[in-house]
Structure 1
Amino acid sequence: MSATDDGQSGSPALDDPTPYQEVQRSPEFVALRKRWRRFIFTMSAIFLTWFMLYVVLADFATGFMNTRIGGTNLTIGLVFGLLQFVSTFVIATIYVWFADKNLDPEAERLRLRVEEKL
């Protein structure tokens, strides 16, 4: 006989959310995810815009990108290319700072709440 045949809505194990599901449904978790997503999407958009600027300039402004800096073999295009690496490390550093300040304290509180219920 199935659970629906005897009038029951299902097994208790399926009806009772796990501590992880409870936290996932909490307003604190939803706010944390929203804060994380806002940061990630913003930084991704900034980086992709910067990268696309580099690609477009390299393709359509070759004269500008081939401009030598200070009479050396260093060109604006080479500097822009190297700045792609720098911007990656800057974004990683900004993320660590942002997470330490805005994400990790709340994530720690949520982790402790789950561990109390386990």
Structure 2
Amino acid sequence: MPGEVYATVQAGEDFQELRRRFRRFAFPMTAAFLGWYLLYVVLSGWARDFMGTELVGSINVALVFGLLQFVSTFLIAWLYSRHADNKTDPLAAKLRSELEEASHGS
């Protein structure tokens, strides 16, 4: 019986919308982050003069790009938290309550 309930929820429009909302955020953000990281790696390997350019004292472009990798990671985590709070969590909570009601009712 529980398998039938889960299959029904998975086939439902709300579940499909939940997946769409997640993918609309996750896929573009993943592509953007991987592109940003690849740029850092490529520049580090093939643009050594540029990456070695000193900006302030012994702080160079490569160090700034490396630190910005951390900044972008935390920014993405924060943006995802906001996205989840506003877009996916309310719908997931609705689906969860419907699923709990259906599984307790059977």
Distance in structure 2 (CA, Å) of the matches to 1:97 and 1:18: 33
Code of the aligned partner of 1:50: W
Unaligned runs of 5+ in 1: 1-12
**Is 1:58 aligned to 2:29, yes or no?**
no
Distance in structure 2 (CA, Å) of the matches to 1:79 and 1:40: 26
1:85 aligns to what? 70
Distance in structure 1 (CA, Å) of the matches to 2:33 and 2:81: 16
Identity of aligned residues (%): 48
TM-score normalised by L of structure 1: 0.82
1:45 aligns to what? 31
RMSD after superposition: 1.4
Higher relative contact order (CA 8 A, sep 6+): 2
State the secondary structure of the residue aligned to 1:59: helix
Segments of 4+ moved more than 6 angstroms:
none
**Is 1:117 aligned to 2:102, yes or no?**
yes
State the secondary structure of the residue aligned to 1:18: helix
Spell out the pairing of 1:19-38 with structure 2 (5 A cutoff): 19-38=5-24
Between structures 1 and 2, the one with greater strand share: 2
Bigger radius of gyration? 1
Code of the aligned partner of 2:50: F
Unaligned runs of 5+ in 2: none
Distance in structure 2 (CA, Å) of the matches to 1:111 and 1:17: 15
Count residues in correspondence: 103
Code of the aligned partner of 2:8: E
